[in-house]
Chain A
Amino acid sequence: MSEVTREHEQREGEGEPPPPEDNSWRQGYWRRNLRLMVILLVIWFVVSFGFGVLLVEPLNEIVIAGFPLGFWFAQQGSIYTFVVLILVYAVLMDRLDDRYGVSERDEEGKRL
């Protein structure tokens, strides 16, 4: 719901003047970008440092196809996750760029 209101209140709370009308979209774009980034980095941290380092010993109690699970996350699973994370980031940023009209397109509107 009303992100617009929240954004507004926040600005008033900080006592700053509202930005010029035509740049008001910028905060929304940047906030969505940062939110996506933080979510993906949390997954990055949990899978690699969480499953692969901090929790590796308890996870190793579970064995699948010969792999202790913690060992598998450290040597296989984390790498697969990293590849998927970057792909998800690139695809979702494409959508965000389109939604805010800041994607890079040529004169005919085709993606560069």
Chain B
Amino acid sequence: MSDIQLWTFVFIGLSFGVYIYIAWRSRVKETAGFYVAGRGVPTVANGAAVAADWMSAASFISMAGLIAFLGSDGSIYLMGWTGGYVLLALLIAPYLRKWGKFTVPEFVGDRYSELVRTIAAVAAILISFTYVVGQMRGGGIVFSRFLNLEIAGGVMVAAAIIFIYAVLGGMKGITWTQVAQYSVLIVAYLIPAIAVAQQMTNLPIPQVTFGQILNELNAISVELGLNQYTEAFAARPQIDVFLVTMSLMIGTAGLPHVIIRFYTTKTVRGARYSAFWALFFIALLYTTAPAVGAFTKLNLLRDVQGVGVEDLPAWIENWAATGLVSVADGVDTVQSVSNDPGAGADLTVNNDILVLASPEIAGLPAPIVGLVAAGGMAAAMSTAAGLLLVISSSVSHDLYFRRVKKAATDRQRLLAGRIAMAFAVVIAVIGGINPPAFVAQVVAFAFGLAAASFFPIIVLGIFWKRCNATGAAAGMVAGLLFTISYMVYTLDVFGTSANPHIFDISPEAIGTIGAVVNFVVTIVVSKLTAPPPAHLSELVEELRYPAARRRPAGEEARQG
């Protein structure tokens, strides 16, 4: 066993021990009657928990690698996944907190109708399925590298661990476990980033210093057959950059498993500040990621440029075993590098390995490599377990109990949920071994679906009293069908062939158009049908005010 493998086991073992210990302690407290329904949790901790829940394998493992190869256009992920929190904080979180229901299908069911609730449950399942595929792939990459397995084996090991974790799982609701996961994840991300920044620029603040290397990175990229790093729209057309960013933003604001995190706060005010702390903690990673991408890419290119195949650094051989790094046959010295296996470059590097390999590429000591692996697993596990629980609760509660068998016993409902979860794991393993795209892209499809289904009807449900159930049902179905059709049309999944993009719009970007379709259909159909009953309008009116008014009318006039 190599030093790197040893340290990986140490850190993954230690961090898992911490999570299980915290979960166990919280249970003890619960039975001892100290349970206070999350009220003892400060807003800051709640924000850290949201950040852990939210930052998945895509953020941790995949994003910096994608940015490294997309260059300037990698900002779609940075702006898309953070900007959505502004929409969430201003348009959704405080109002849904005031409504006081616990899942998104429940809100939609109350605001509209049972039919819309069923559609919402199906959409939530679909989105979570797509999303969990990305997590399995991410976890699989960690294990395949450190257990020396083919990627398929790594995915199966990750799936087994995630499934056990999710079944153990009411733990999911325990905020402090997620605070611990956030701590592991952010420390594992920042330490190597700071070390690399110090090594390359003598200043340990990666956010500030990666500007210094951009010129050199531009030059060496061009020499090795890649685009200039800082040139905008070299990787994607402008319209596509715009639409993907928008799709990720409104998808973020519409993701069921993110929205429910804001119900755990005690007050409407708490929901607003939780959104701030969540984005603050997320921003620590998201402002570091582009620096990690730039530093690692420069290191990587310097390592291999013009180097003979015999003299390539050790990390290339280590990662070649996973099948995610390969040197083309018959190459003597490396003259070109690409992330696209079809490009015929001398060296092909998969985006998804870049963060995990970053400490090795920079020649940092083995414990740091192990720490990063533990961080990657924390990110993949916390999100995957949450998604599996969304799938199982939607199937057992919103579909099976509400639709199929109203008289179902608790045991039958639990069984239905477990079967759904096992089924989800099997699908996710198949998808994780043969992903239609890179981890962050697969996840981007989930966001497109959320953008096209949930965001419009939630926002209209809050801000437009006239919006009714028929409109919402029609809008969701239209938005989803439109978006899925385009994704299937442009990707070769399920045996279909990939067709060229229409108007340069990629499948990750189509969620924005799907959301527009949803908005338009919902508004038009609502206008053409009867308005919702008066008591619903009054409920929607009540959403706007955090608490009952305490002072007599007219006082604000004197103050204002």
Residues of B within 8 A of A111 (CB): 269
Q: How distant is the Cα of A82 from the Cα of B78 in the complex, in angstroms?
A: 11
**Beta-carbon contacts under 8 Å, B512-560 to A:** 541, 544-551, 553-557, 559-560
A103 and B269 contacting across the interface, CB-CB below 8 Å? yes
Tell yes or no: A11 within 8 A of B by CB.
no
**Beta-carbon contacts under 8 Å, B410-435 to A:** none
Tell yes or no: B268 within 8 A of A by CB.
yes
Q: How distant is the Cα of A15 from the Cα of B75 in the complex, in angstroms?
A: 49
A74 and B207 contacting across the interface, CB-CB below 8 Å? no
B86 and A79 contacting across the interface, CB-CB below 8 Å? no
Q: Which of B169-177, B210-218, B296-304 binds A?
A: B210-218
B242 and A54 contacting across the interface, CB-CB below 8 Å? yes
B283 and A53 contacting across the interface, CB-CB below 8 Å? no
Which of B67, B242, B547, B557 interacts with A102 by CB under 8 Å? Answer: B547
Tell yes or no: B287 within 8 A of A by CB.
yes
Encode contact with B along A28-57: 1 for CB under 8 Å, 0 otherwise.
Answer: 111001000100110010001100111011
Q: Is the interface of B mostly helix, strand, loop or mixed?
A: helix
Q: How distant is the Cα of A75 from the Cα of B91 in the complex, in angstroms?
A: 24
Provided the pairs A37-B90, A85-B86, A112-B269 are in contact, do residues A76 and B550 lie with their beta carbons within 8 angstroms?
Answer: no
Residues of B within 8 A of A33 (CB): 544
Tell yes or no: A26 within 8 A of B by CB.
yes
- Nearest CB of B to A49, in Å: 6
Tell yes or no: B230 within 8 A of A by CB.
yes
B230 and A60 contacting across the interface, CB-CB below 8 Å? yes
Q: How many residues of B contact A (CB 8 A)?
A: 61
A-B pair count, CB < 8 Å, reads: 163
**Beta-carbon contacts under 8 Å, B217-259 to A:** 230, 232-233, 238, 241-242, 245-246
A52 and B545 contacting across the interface, CB-CB below 8 Å? no
Encode contact with B along A60-100: 1 for CB under 8 Å, 0 otherwise.
Answer: 10001111101110111011101101110110011001011
Tell yes or no: A14 within 8 A of B by CB.
no
Chain B residue with Cβ nearest A72: B211
Residues of B within 8 A of A64 (CB): 211
Q: How distant is the Cα of A28 from the Cα of B298 in the complex, in angstroms?
A: 55
Q: How distant is the Cα of A19 from the Cα of B89 in the complex, in angstroms?
A: 29
- Nearest CB of B to A18, in Å: 13
Tell yes or no: B180 within 8 A of A by CB.
no
Which of B270, B545, B559 interacts with A26 by CB under 8 Å? Answer: B545
Which of B287, B545, B548 interacts with A80 by CB under 8 Å? Answer: B287
Tell yes or no: A22 within 8 A of B by CB.
yes
Q: Is the interface of A mostly helix, strand, loop or mixed?
A: helix
Residues of A within 8 A of B82 (CB): 78-79, 82
Tell yes or no: A101 within 8 A of B by CB.
yes
Q: How distant is the Cα of A85 from the Cα of B280 in the complex, in angstroms?
A: 11
Tell yes or no: B272 within 8 A of A by CB.
yes
Encode contact with B along A7-24: 1 for CB under 8 Å, 0 otherwise.
Answer: 000000000000001101
Chain B residue with Cβ nearest A100: B556
Provided the pairs A48-B245, A83-B283, A90-B272 are in contact, do residues A101 and B549 lie with their beta carbons within 8 angstroms?
Answer: yes
Encode contact with A along B188-213: 1 for CB under 8 Å, 0 otherwise.
Answer: 00000000000000000001101111
Tell yes or no: B279 within 8 A of A by CB.
yes
Q: How distant is the Cα of A82 from the Cα of B290 in the complex, in angstroms?
A: 17
Tell yes or no: B385 within 8 A of A by CB.
no
Tell yes or no: B55 within 8 A of A by CB.
no
A49 and B86 contacting across the interface, CB-CB below 8 Å? no
B90 and A66 contacting across the interface, CB-CB below 8 Å? no
B86 and A41 contacting across the interface, CB-CB below 8 Å? yes
Q: How distant is the Cα of A41 from the Cα of B87 in the complex, in angstroms?
A: 8
Residues of B within 8 A of A75 (CB): 67, 72, 74-75, 78, 290
Q: How distant is the Cα of A22 from the Cα of B279 in the complex, in angstroms?
A: 38
Which of A48, A94, A104 interacts with B79 by CB under 8 Å? Answer: A48
Q: How distant is the Cα of A1 from the Cα of B72 in the complex, in angstroms?
A: 47
Residues of B within 8 A of A25 (CB): 549, 553-554, 556
B83 and A44 contacting across the interface, CB-CB below 8 Å? yes
Q: How distant is the Cα of A53 from the Cα of B238 in the complex, in angstroms?
A: 7
A49 and B246 contacting across the interface, CB-CB below 8 Å? yes
Tell yes or no: B447 within 8 A of A by CB.
no
A89 and B549 contacting across the interface, CB-CB below 8 Å? no
Residues of A within 8 A of B275 (CB): 86, 90
Tell yes or no: B131 within 8 A of A by CB.
no
**Beta-carbon contacts under 8 Å, B255-308 to A:** 266-270, 272-273, 275-276, 279-280, 283, 286-287, 290
Residues of A within 8 A of B90 (CB): 37, 40-41, 86, 89
Which of A21, A83, A103 interacts with B546 by CB under 8 Å? Answer: A103
Residues of A within 8 A of B286 (CB): 79
B232 and A71 contacting across the interface, CB-CB below 8 Å? yes
**Beta-carbon contacts under 8 Å, B57-74 to A:** 67, 72, 74
Residues of A within 8 A of B546 (CB): 97, 102-104
Q: How distant is the Cα of A97 from the Cα of B273 in the complex, in angstroms?
A: 14
A105 and B547 contacting across the interface, CB-CB below 8 Å? yes
- The 12 listed contacts between A and B (C-beta, < 8 Å) are A25-B556, A44-B83, A56-B233, A71-B232, A76-B290, A80-B283, A82-B283, A97-B547, A101-B550, A102-B549, A102-B550, A112-B267
> When A and B form their complex, which 6 residue pairs have the shortest distance between CB atoms, in order from nearest?
A66-B211, A101-B551, A74-B75, A67-B211, A90-B272, A75-B290
Known contacts A30-B544, A74-B78; can you find 6 more A-B pairs with CB under 8 A? A65-B212, A71-B75, A79-B286, A82-B83, A99-B559, A111-B269
